[in-house]
Amino acid sequence: ACDSRERAFLWRDGRMIDLGKERDAHQSSAVAINNHGHVLVQLFGPAAPPQLWAGGRLNDLGAAVAGTGWKLVSVYDLNDAGQVLALARNESSGAFLPVRLDPA
């Protein structure tokens, strides 16, 4: 059996940065990068919400919808203004909705 693990990495200042290590994800995938070097990261593992790597650390994008009854399922794109295109799922109805997250 093959037990492959995929990890997202970013090459910065002559070294590789593991974009999933900080949150101890089983797997991670780099989804998009903008011209400022910010990276959207989809983590795979228990309770692993999508992340935005910026300023040398991962930031939990799920916090942007916390307490609304919605949960971020996945992320798709990131622009230079920091806006994120994501997919959210309603925790009570199960409905899906595309959302745009704006920088704070």
Q: What are the tens digits of pLDDT across the range 17-56? A: 887 665 566 788 899 999 999 999 988 876 678 999 898 8
Residue 12 pLDDT > 70 = yes
Q: What is the spatial distance between Cα 94 and Cα 30, in angstroms, rounded to a whole number?
A: 26
Residue 2 reports pLDDT greater than 50 = no
Asked whether the whole model's pTM tops 0.75, one would answer yes
Task: Categorize the per-residue pLDDT at 98 as very low, low, confident or very high, splitting at 50, 70 and 90.
Answer: very high
Distance (Å) of CA 73 to CA 42, 47, 92: 9, 11, 14
Q: Which residues share a beta bridge with 70?
A: 90
Overall average pLDDT of the 69-95 stretch: 94
